[in-house]
Amino acid sequence: AEHQHTRYNPLRDDWVLVSAHRVKRPWQGQLEKPPAEDVPRWDPNNPLCPGATRANGEVNPQYEGTFIFPNDFPALQPDAPEPDDSDHPLFRAAPARGVCKVMCFHPWSDLTLPLMSLAEIRAVIDAWAELATELGASYPWVQIFENKGAMMGCSNPHPHCQVWASSFLPNEARLEDRTQREHLRQHGVPMLLEYAEQEAHRKERLVVENADWLVVVPYWATWPYQTLLLPRRHVCRLQDLSEGERDSLASIMKRLLIKYDNLFEVSFPYSMGWHGAPTGPHLEEDCRHWQLHAHYYPPLLRSATVRKFMVGYEMLAQAQRDLTPEQAAERLRSLPEVHYKEGNK
């Protein structure tokens, strides 16, 4: 806990430097602007609100639950042309096609996931699973991700996520496919199933748990309060979850996100996303090495205004963190599960 050391991340086949003593150093660097607390519930000029007009001239319906629409500025399009042939192995290109969608969680702009009801969160989970099934019928990879907060590059405070389906396996997917496949070959059990069992037993990095799920600060965490959300049983894809597992997922997500907000009493920024077995042409393959999981990557380190920067050594050598995963887990675990905005109601 007091001395620097490195930890191995078997999921990414890399290492992280842990330097717990560095969190004590004085900070005279960048101070972030806390998120606005006065977000209007409905704004006719916000393109994600019900009834608002988007950049392409389309008018949103008066939706009352989740709302899914094609991204008006997609990074991937289904009909992109083939790149030119390369004349040298150092200048390679490959086709990239896909579909990008935006999904609004709720019609209210001032209601983030931790403040939504369990039924409303369950509706989000069901919509995720439907999109994963629909897009995964033809595309090899469906990436569901949420960027929350301006600090994580989110340009709109309305609660929403994105879903990008691609004709290729992205880098992180290919890496996790390789490491999980190799672990199953060597040890005869899916890596993250074994890992979840170990963490449930050890408990030192456990944040929250229920009958179907657990959330840990992973042993190899890079970001200060990074967490990993894991099912207890072997599940390959989001759409494979049972009705009961979806209900308990809504519950554990709400508990985790309330703790995040309570840590610094701010709407906690993060990037999160689901990883599961590849789809499309891979649906007929043996994907037993995969275990469904969600990554949460929040940047805040010391307060609502001091973040962790991945620069210098991290960019040029390897990842480094300023407090141990055990310290981060203990702090998150000890936080109340009633949201600070609702504590006096």
Annotated binding site for UDP-alpha-D-glucose: 22-25, 55, 71-72, 147, 153-155, 162, 308-309, 313-314, 320
Q: Kindly write down the DSSP assignment for every residue of 35-84, as one continuous string.
A: PPS---S--TT-TTSTT-B-TTS-B----SS-EEEE-SS-S--TTPPPPP
Q: Would you tell me the crossing angle of helices 243-264 and 118-136 to the nearest 10 degrees?
A: 120
Shortest CA distance to 204 belongs to which of 331, 27, 63? 331
CA distance 98 to 337: 39
Q: Is 300 helix (H, G, I), strand (E, B) or coil?
A: strand
Which amino acids are annotated as binding site for Fe cation, given as ranges? 176, 275, 293, 295
Residue spans of beta strands (DSSP E) within 153-278: 160-166, 206-209, 213-216, 227-231, 270-275
Q: Which of 160, 183, 289, 339 is catalytic?
A: 160
Instruction: Respond yes or no: is residue 201 known to be catalytic.
Output: no
Q: How many C-alpha atoms does 253 have within 13 Å on its Cβ side? A: 27
Contact 96, 170 (CB under 8 A): no
Q: In what order do the strands lie in the sheet with 5-9?
A: 5-9, 14-18, 319-321
Query: Token pair of 229, please?
Result: 């959300």
The CA distance from 99 to 134, in Å, is: 11
Say if CB 148 and CB 125 are below 8 A apart: no
Annotated binding-site ranges: 22-25, 55, 71-72, 147, 153-155, 162, 176, 275, 293, 295, 308-309, 313-314, 320
CA dihedral 114, 115, 121, 124 (to 10 degrees): -90
Contact of 218 with 192, CB cutoff 8 Å = no
Q: Is 151 helix (H, G, I), strand (E, B) or coil?
A: helix
How many Cβ atoms are within 10 Å of 67's Cβ, its own excluded?
20
Would you please indicate which residues are annotated as catalytic (active-site) residues?
160
